[in-house]
Structure 1
Amino acid sequence: MKVLFVSPGWPKGRLWGELGFKFPSLSLAALAAVTPVEWSVELCDENIEPLALATDADLVAITAMTPQAPRAYQIAAQFKAVGKTVVMGGFHASNLPEEALQHLDSVVVGEGELIWPQLLADFQHGRLQRLYRSSDLIAMTAIPIARRQLFAGKKYLFTNTLQTTRGCPFDCEFCSVTAFYGRHYRKRPIDNVLAELEELRRRNSFAFFVDDNLVADRKYALELFAGMKGMGFKWLSHAPIDFADDREFIKAAGEAGCVALFVGFESLNQEALKAMGKVTNTATSYLEDAQVFRDNGIGILGSFVMGNDGDTPEVFERTLAFCEQARLEGAIFPILTPYPGTEVRRRLEAEGRILSNAWEDYDMEHVTFQPKGMSVAELQQGYDWLNRSFYSFGSMYKRIWKLHRSVQVFGPMNIGFRAALKRKKGN
């Protein structure tokens, strides 16, 4: 038996579809790792290769985030038209299983590792169920090493992505992570992670921890950093801005090889931060905090949500000025997006402010709700201006002209984002 895993492509003319550097889907490699040995596995990632309907696979399995859902449904229809059985999982299908079931033969809700072998067994015996929902979360001790052979021959930037924890102890209203994993913060055994890292460093000295908050458990993270020290990795992950408050902790991360962290600043307005539930952030200390990261050899990819209820049209120039003053090496500026399953969607629905359920526009680049402090057009135009301005050569010079060890990551990243924005404009 054979299963074909499919990762739908991002549309051309969208920022994420135009970026030249691609990363693989770790979730599909995790499913491949728990696929029984009598099954062969294959991957098609539309972001790097065209989809071929001519396949000898017995089963097609798709994963998709919300903006990829329309393309996922198209793919499902194409495969079903040639007689294939198609199943789907991921954030979107988990939040809207009834919608997904209109297009799929079967849907997996939530974490897939426990239920996936059962689905395959049911398929083999002709009793595939319409809906699979695991009765429990997988024990972190049971998570196998991802089956990265799935990525062989693919043109990814690198495949050294791994996960040490799941979930986040916080509950920001715009975040899909809590909706999917819950607020319980679960951790893999340190020895398991270090063993996986030993295997990965044979391939590449860079590693990316996809954890949504790598440092939520200080004791755990310090043990991990101590084990990584001397391994020679240059690594990236996610952390809150208040990581800077613990100088011993952030120093340990730098000494373990951390060169860059994704940091959710979200807003420069403290009232907006309070409203969205971003309890770890203090806007008045952002400049000092950013310097602490840099002093420990860690560059910042900042995230600022545009379109919060406290935002007015001046937010765009103010955000750019801050980014340049703080010398943030990189940043993204997502438009507030009311993803299914999130608290912000429930609130905006109750207020009658959702303007569109065209899922392809839920890419953090398009306005899908009615803002309070500006018009839809002002939010869209401000977002576009901010991206162009931040990734202009003048802004890059202000932010990254001084040599810093993170420039090996952020130099190419800035050029890549600038090129993607130009291609997006040309489409």
Structure 2
Amino acid sequence: MKKLLLVSPLAPKSFLGGDFYFRLPNLGLLKVAALTPPDWQISIIDEKVETLDLQQDADLVGITAMTPAVKRGYEIADSFRARGIKVIMGGMHVSKLPDEALQHCDSIVVGEAEQLWDKVVDDFKRGELKSIYQHDNGYPSLVNYPAPNWGLYERKRYLPVHFIETTRGCPHNCEFCSVTDSFGGKFRNRPVDEVEREIQHLKPFESRFALKNVVFFVDDNIISNRKHAKELLERIIPYHLKWTGQASTQIAKNDEILALCKKSGCMGLLIGFETLSSNNLVKMGKTFNTPENYLDVIKKLHDYGIGVNGAFVLGFDHDDESVFDRTIEFVIKAKLDVCYFTILTPYPGTRLYSQLSREGRIIDHDWSNYNTNNVVFMPKLMKPEKLLDGFHRVLKESFSYSAIFKRLWGNGTYKNFFYPMNFGFRQTIKKTIKHKQEFSYGQGSRS
């Protein structure tokens, strides 16, 4: 029996790296494992939660890597290839920069693995591995999607959360986001019957946490297709799930969907507010967001007992140094259950990357710094160090004990979920900012 080793490298400088308080499972590798023929012995190593032995035995190694982890991914690939082991790489970064990736691996999978991976392993067995595998026309069907085997993650140090995908793609093509370019400009839906069967076979994690059967629907917008969303939510009600997901601000306009979210066990939704500036929203192409309505959107979800994880990006071209105080004031006033902040980052394949490259504004080409908590470009209305300092201040002040209690008090949402989440983020933020300061001081002392 051939041995397949699947690896998710650590993004060493990432806010969501090995020190992140909430270690979440890697769904992508479970998908690849599910697509692998049964005559393979599969093991998965996620460096976020375990150590990779570069000397371990394998016939074939598959590595997935997003941009901040790709440098480590290349190191792993080089090490296994030096031992004569074939290496295949995939993921968003590799798909956008195939020539770069092929300097470190034998073959790459461009785009989605469905309807490609079986060809890869078959060609490998016949000794005819190609350099590039990609779809000739469009995107693969999501019908007859094989269910992941969560048993491969037993006893790994993950939070007790199952990831489930019900849709792919997005028509909005925001300038900083790579989803549309990677997964297509329209929403593709999985059959609800197949999603329900996947839910039926989930087994609760053995965990010290009170919530042991949490599901995170990883779709970029769980309500992308209202008919599909309604059917899905109605079908999962009997399973008494506790679930979270992602949605657009448009969900606040649909009371029927909100009621179904609540009835089916929705604890909270991540919503990409992105910015408080209408000018920024116009430039990025997200004009269905209207900042003057954000407070109403949040209150509407709270009225249904649904928490809101508000996501914001700092450093857009219309952001000056006043953006930090305005953002801190807003998240507390809005009583956001959780707030998630990132620094604008130009990932390969996005319109933002193309624009900043043309303008000569990219100042850092080390992929490990493309992790949304470093400044890798020249902002328009402030210096890079001001953006970084302001980002740190927003994090610290939004997750102070005082701010956490002000945000959560009286929301009527799931406190057993959101209080631990906030305190976990607070712990990670303290470590991240302390590391950054120590690094900066260390650099200064050597200059």
TM interval, short-chain normalised? over 0.9
- Structure 1 residues 13 and 104 mapped into 2: Cα distance closer, same or farther (>3 Å)? closer
Say if 1:263 and 1:303, in contact at 8 Å, map to a contact too: yes
* Distance in structure 2 (CA, Å) of the matches to 1:32 and 1:15: 24
Letter in 2 for 1:225: L
Superposed counterparts of 1:258-407, under 5 Å: 258-402=266-410, 404-407=412-415
Maintained 8 Å contact 1:6/1:45: yes
**SS of equivalent residue, structure 2 residue 395:** helix
Task: Give CA deviations for 1:86-142 in whole Å, capped at 9, x if unaligned.
Answer: 110000000111100011111110001211111111111111111111224221112
Match of 2:443 in 1: none
Asked whether 1:124 is paired with 2:132, we answer no
Q: For each residue in 1:19-70, what CA deviation from the matched residue of structure 2 results, as whole angstroms up to 9, or x when unmatched?
A: 1221111111111111011111001110111111232210110001100010
What's 2:4 paired with?
Answer: 3
Worse-superposed segment, 58-67 or 245-254: 245-254
1:82 CA drift (Å)? 2.3
- Separation in 2 of the partners of 1:10 and 1:395? 29
Match of 1:23, as an amino acid?
L
Letter of the structure 2 residue corresponding to residue 158 of structure 1: P
- CA distance in 2: counterparts of 1:26 and 1:384, whole angstroms: 30
Give the deviation of 1:361 after TM superposition: 0.7
User: How many angstroms apart in 2 are the aligned matches of 1:180 and 1:403?
Assistant: 37
Match of 2:172 among 170, 173, 180: 170
Aligned 8 A contact 1:272 1:310 in 2: yes
CA drift of 1:403 comes to 6.1
Partner of 2:58: 57
Q: Which amino acid aligns with 1:125?
A: R
Alignment of 1:114-153 (within 5 A): 114-136=115-137, 137-153=139-155
The amino acid across from 1:198 in the alignment is: Q
Which amino acid in the other structure matches residue 151 of structure 2? Q
Helix, strand or coil for the counterpart of 1:71? helix
8 Å contact 1:316–1:383 — kept in the other structure?
yes
In 2, distance between residues paired with 1:227 and 1:14? 36
The CA RMSD over aligned residues, in Å, is 1.4
Name the SS for the 1:322 alignment partner: helix
Cα offset for 1:149?
2.2
Q: CA deviation at 1:12?
A: 5.5
1:51 aligned counterpart, secondary structure: coil
Letter in 2 for 1:260: G
Q: What SS does the aligned partner of 2:182 have? A: helix
1:153 is displaced (CA, Å) by 2.1
CA distance in 2, matches of 1:2, 1:71: 22
Q: Which amino acid aligns with 2:398?
A: F
- Paired residue type of 2:165: Q
The farther-off stretch of 10-19 and 327-336 is 10-19
Distance in 1 between residues matched to 2:390 and 2:433, nearest whole Å? 15
Partner of 1:238: 246
Match of 2:440 in 1: none
Q: Which residue of 2 aligns with 1:75?
A: 76
Change beyond 3 A, Cα 1:426–1:151: same
Following the alignment from structure 2 to structure 1, what is the Cα–Cα distance between the partners of residues 157 and 354?
39
CA contact (8 A) 2:18 2:47 kept: no
**Aligned residue for 1:250?**
258
Over residues 172-207 of structure 1, what are the superposed CA-to-partner deviations in whole Å (9 max), with x where a residue is unaligned?
Answer: 111111110011210011111111111126554310
Question: Is the Cα contact below 8 Å between 2:64 and 2:90 reproduced in 1?
Answer: yes
Residues 147 and 13 of structure 1: CA distance in aligned 2, closer, same or farther (over 3 Å): closer
Tell me the residue number matched to 2:198.
Answer: 196
Question: SS where residue 170 of structure 1 aligns?
Answer: coil
Distance in 2 (CA, whole Å) between partners of 1:205 and 1:51 is 28
What SS does structure 2 have at the residue aligned with 1:17? Answer: coil
* Matched-pair identity in %: 41
Q: Is the 8 A contact 2:309 2:338 kept in 1?
A: yes
Residue 37 to residue 64, structure 1, CA distance change in 2 (3 Å): same
- Kept after mapping to 1: 8 A contact 2:13/2:369: no
- 1:309 counterpart letter in structure 2: D
8 Å CA contact retained: 2:317, 2:379: yes
What is the identity, as a one-letter code, of the residue corresponding to 1:367?
A: V
Unaligned runs of 5+ in 2: 206-211, 436-447
User: In 1, distance between residues paired with 2:29 and 2:14?
Assistant: 26
Q: Secondary structure at the match of 2:24?
A: coil
- Could you tell me how far 1:269 is from its partner in structure 2? 0.8
* Structure 1 gaps, min length 5: none
Per-residue deviation, residues 211-238 of structure 1 (Å, max 9, x unmatched): 1111011111011111112321110110
Q: Distance in 1 between matches of 2:13 and 2:368?
A: 11
Aligned mates of 1:208, 1:15 — CA distance in 2: 17
Question: How many residue pairs were aligned?
Answer: 427
Q: Distance in 2 between matches of 1:398 and 1:37?
A: 52
1:105 matched to 2:120? The reply is: no
> Aligned residue for 1:184?
186
Give the match for residue 421 of structure 2.
413
Q: Contact between 1:302 and 1:332, CA under 8 Å: does it hold in 2?
A: yes
CA distance in 1, matches of 2:236, 2:120: 37
86 and 61 in structure 1: CA distance in 2 versus 1, 3 angstrom threshold: same
